Each structure stands twice: as structure tokens, then as C-alpha cells.
Copies of this chain bind each other. A is one copy, B any other.
Amino acid sequence: MTIKISIDCMGGDHGPSVTIPAAVSFVSHEQDAELILVGLEDVIRAELKKLNASAHPRLTVVHATEIVGMDDPIEVALRRKKDSSMRVAVTLIKEGKADACVSAGNTGALMAVSRYVLKTIPGVDRPAICFPMPNQKDSPTYMLDLGANVDCEPQHLHQFALMGSALVSALEGKAKPTVGLLNIGEEDIKGNEVVKQTAALLRADHEKGTLNFYGNVEGNDIFEGTTDIVVCDGFVGNVVLKASEGLGRFLKNIVKSEFKSNAINMLGAVIAQGALKSISQRMNPSRYNGASLLGLRGLVFKSHGGEDAYGYEWAIKRAYEAARHDVLSRISTTIAELMPQPSGASASDAAGASNALI
């Protein structure tokens, strides 16, 4: 079976100069992948020509006349630019022409457009952004929400836990992945009211055997890989994600500068260049590029806006893997079976979409 992925070629800081090379490289590696390149046709075709890929049988082009800018307010993306590459790429999923979509555009706009076009899965009040963080165990810690919801109620975090569990179960082939609730201590008495009430919901699921709830986890547990999934609200998640990126860059700079500090260290660096290359690669955030927008009736993946082609290709890979493992129906089934009262919030509107704030 061919897996079809629509690519918002115009999104991100670099647009087609990054998205097209990534797409061309990706189809050359995955023989059952077909990519639909959405955006200004002339620009896309010119880029394909440069890469000698104009006639590639698994690359098609769909023209879209508008572009959502990185600074465009959500309203502009949603109401004014109806023929944007972002919106057309997402619509292809709705029309059954694509199995998943990738965009490096403005996250808030992408979430709002996706929510408007696709709607949420029945039983999901709010979509969440989920991202695989690297950890000591070398098998990612899936963390959500990372910025779609600045304020969350316990039932939202509960839904995030179920969606995350279904995602990891599908992607990593783990029957009962562990779920941790991000808190400021392990004990039940720690944390704010929302966290305490969420813990009660998750414990009840655990007792029923429908969720493998580990309990509270702390910030360090993300990178220790204590649990497969870490659930938190979008404010905390977003701050942690960006702080981690910042700290990663800072520490990488320390390593670089020390090895350049004098001739002897530079000699050591030349000899141990294999180690340094490997360190650089393992500390490269591009390897972890590609966040999923979970809870929508379609698979939408967000690439970091500043990524290069290497990083963007990782985001395409994640979308491809999610489609291949049928993540969407796994999540829909889980939510349908386990959420006690579907809240019927699937008819999301623009007001709801404004929760998407990053």
C-alpha cells in the first residue's frame, strides 16, 4: 500500500529550498511513499528541476496561491488565506487524498487550520502537540501537550494520556506503554489541583487496566526515560521544550569552545574526531524534529520552522511512520472505548482554535 503525504512546501523559515530537497530525499529512501507537494507550482517545479526530480513518479504537485507567513495572526491563516499551501495540504487529508500532512509553518496557524478543516476526534475536547524527547534509554519519551493548550482541565490531561498511550503503542509496538504525570514531586500530595485531580482519573484507568499509569514524574524523568509518555499542560510543556533546546545549544557550545581553546585540545579533537562527530550527531535536535498534532481526524505533523532539509526529512519520516502504523484509528478507537462521556466537542470552531498559541 502506498502512503501518501501532503507537504506544505511554502511553510517554515526557508520554504521550498528546504522542503523540496527533503521530500526528494525521502521518496528516494521509502519506496512505498508518495508525496504531494503543495504550494506555488512554478517555484516547486523550479526546485524539482534543480534536483533532477521533475519526472519523479511518486512526487506530484498541487498548486496553492497563498502562503501563511510565520508572523501571520491565526485569523489571517484561518479566514483570509483560504488557498494557502498549509490549508490545501491539510484539506488533502480530509478529501482522502493524503494519509498525513507535514508543515513547518506557524504552529498556532497550523493547529487552527487543522482543527477547522479536520475537526477533532469524537471524545477529544482539545488537540495536543506531542513530541518525542531524547532520553538516557535511547527510546524517546513522548511528551504532550507542548503548547496547544495554555490552560488545561483534568479531563484534557486525561485525554492527552489516552492519546499518547495509543500513539506510543502504535509507533513503538508497546502493548502497555507507561504514562507519567509531570509534577513537582513524586508523592500524591504534590502539585496543584489540576494535577491532583488528573492523577485520580489516571489511577482509576490504571485500576481498570485501561492505562498503564506510572504516577507522578519530575522534570528530570523526561530525560531519564522513566516513562514512555509524559503528560503536562501546554504552558509547562512548551517552556520545558524550549528550555531543553536552549540548554542543549549552550552545552554544545561549551564542548565546541573547549576543544578549540588551545593547540593541544585541538590535536585531541582531531584524533577523537569520531567521538566529537558522534556527540554532535546525538546532540543534534534535528534528529527529533516532527511534532504530531494529536486528537484531530487526520495526521498532521509540524516541523520546526528553522530546520534544514535533514531535519525536515525527519518530520516527513514521523508522518510516514504514523500513517504506516495506523495511529489515527488507534487513537480514535482508544478514545471511543475509554473516554467515559464523549463530549461532542468535535465541532471545533475558531474560538476553540485560538487555544493554539505557539
Contacts and interface: CB of A to CB of B under 8 A. Distances in A.
Most chain B beta-carbon neighbours within 10 Å: one of A244, A245, A247, A267 = A247
A223 B249 contact: yes
A305 to B, nearest CB: 13
Most chain B beta-carbon neighbours within 10 Å: one of A245, A249, A250, A258 = A250
Contact of A262 (B234, B259, B267, B274): B274
A242 interface: yes
A274 B262 CA distance: 9
Interface in A155-210: 182, 184-185, 189-193
Most chain B beta-carbon neighbours within 10 Å: one of A151, A191, A222, A272 = A272
Most chain B beta-carbon neighbours within 10 Å: one of A243, A254, A266 = A243
A65 interface: no
Given A191-B357, A278-B258, A246 B224 contact: yes
Nearest to A245: B220
A265 B275 contact: yes
A52 interface: no
A150 interface: yes
A95 B236 CA distance: 41
A352 to B, nearest CB: 16
A272 B235 CA distance: 41
Interface string A68-93: 00000000000000000000000000
Contacts of A182: 239
Contacts of A222: 243, 246-247
B221 A246 contact: yes
Indicate the size class of the contact surface on chain A. 35 or more
A182 B240 CA distance: 11
Contacts of A275: 258-259, 261, 265, 268-269
A253 to B, nearest CB: 7
Contacts of A46: none
Contacts of A134: 250
A24 to B, nearest CB: 31
B246 A247 contact: no
A258 B276 CA distance: 8
Given A150-B184, A251-B251, A282-B254, A239 B219 contact: yes
Contact of A219 (B220, B243, B251): B243
Contacts of A224: 246, 250
A229 to B, nearest CB: 16
Nearest to A135: B250
